[in-house]
Structure 1
Amino acid sequence: MPTDMNTAKHYNANAEQYHQHVTNPSDSIFHSQYEKPAIRAELPNLEDLDVLSIGCGSGVDSRWLADNGARKVIGIDISSGLLDIAKRENPDISFLEMDMEKLDFPDESFDLAYSSLAIHYVDDWTPALKEARRVLRPHGTYVFSCGHPIDTAVEYTKDDQAKYAYLGRKIELETGKRTIFGDYLVVKDGGVKPIEGTLGDMEVVVYHRTFGKMIEQIRSAGFTIEKVVEPQPAPDMQQANPDMFEQLSRIPAFMIWVLKK
């Protein structure tokens, strides 16, 4: 199933706000000091590569790819609001409204596919990955990031003092009774479960899936897994936000996949 259309609707309604967020390094340290350094470190030399940016949003990553040696960059997204900004800010780059599960490109059109925090908006990766593989040239590479399942498996609760995110168990000393918090395996949902959340003022739906389900869907699409990265935050975050630095140094929020055709 494609990206939840309510998610696309909220991105459209909040496109300018989102663009301001992702272009302000101090406002988006999850991007500027965590996910971006990690995913960019896994990219090949971009010189003379034709690159497809999947889920390009307002074009920030497409701009970076073009400025760092790519011969050609095409960005696709399903949010017309974000694409309007991408076109406005980057008139020299081609941006198209397109579903990642139905790419309107000939076979073997690109050397590299790149996607930052977009694929976790679909419930089944296989169709989108098959399309990415189809448009890659022989030995092409797909580098993408997504939410880490240990982060999406937690159970949230709160009281008057704080909010809590739990994944684990409580064992009562006297009775041995166990209380379980969170659900990593989501057995009744087949290993994939929608998670409703917010991103600023936006309501979004991302999908938790187990590590095993991720591997299954990647292999079903025909890709070979070259590398998996569970990133550490950039050193700069320790000063900018020491609490977040400590959290991300111990519990990952995202992960990076490097796949080969």
Structure 2
Amino acid sequence: MHTELITIPTDTLSLEGVFYTPDGPIKNAIIYFHGNTMNFYTGGARFLPATLTKSGYAFLAFNRRGHDVLSTRNSRIAEGGAFQTVRESLSDHEYAAKWLAAKGFENPIVMGHSYGGMLATQFVADHPQTPALVLLSAGKGGPDQDQVPGSEKLFAMDQGPALKQRAQELVAMGKPKDLMMMPGWWYVISAESYLDRIKNVPDTIALASKIHCPVLAIRGDLEDVHRYPAEDFAKACAGHCDVEIIKDCDHFYNQQEDVVANLINQWLQNQ
């Protein structure tokens, strides 16, 4: 495959990423939405392109402005997932889709992991010409996503009400970018981003009724069923949805990368 580092302009910071293309003819492109605080060189964005380009798919992976937890770029101004908002995340996907359309791929296959999968459901609902959607451990979304901790006890764990109050106080004081420590993943977050997360994250199950294209929903058997309800999505989906539960598999598909890549590749061939 050919690998090209790319830059996607936005109204503020650009999005950095990579565009993989096969050696031969291109069937279509895949646009990949990374998980929360991840980036274009981790997780599925790293291990899927080698397999999928062999089958003739171009593959776009890129950083949202909310990549990693905290980062800097060409200055000492902090950026990253601690400051992200859902609106910004959704707009980043639109910017990337326009970049891909300019390359000749107006209706790419959409893939999203975790938070990226939640955002992918909104994207596909807004883009009904999408030919196929692959959800990799997509979160439940909606108001219960971070209010009910589940077995993983993520996000604010048992300190949600106190952190919400603190975030509201900081915003009222004109300090929306001030950081707060959280007891669970992703450990540090701005007041503004915390309030946005618990209110505006897309409701994956509710959006399923607006998705008519073929869907593959994947979850590892070591993951929390409540947090990543692939079966519930399939029941609510307007189109056909295949559910695959990967054996001995965690949220990041450690040691199961080839299994996941080959499964997705075979599923795409059957569409």
Q: Which has the larger radius of gyration?
A: 1
Shared topology, TM-score over 0.5? no
When normalised by structure 1's length, the TM-score is: 0.38
When normalised by structure 2's length, the TM-score is: 0.37
Which gives a bigger RCO, structure 1 or 2 (Cα 8 Å, sep 6+)? 1
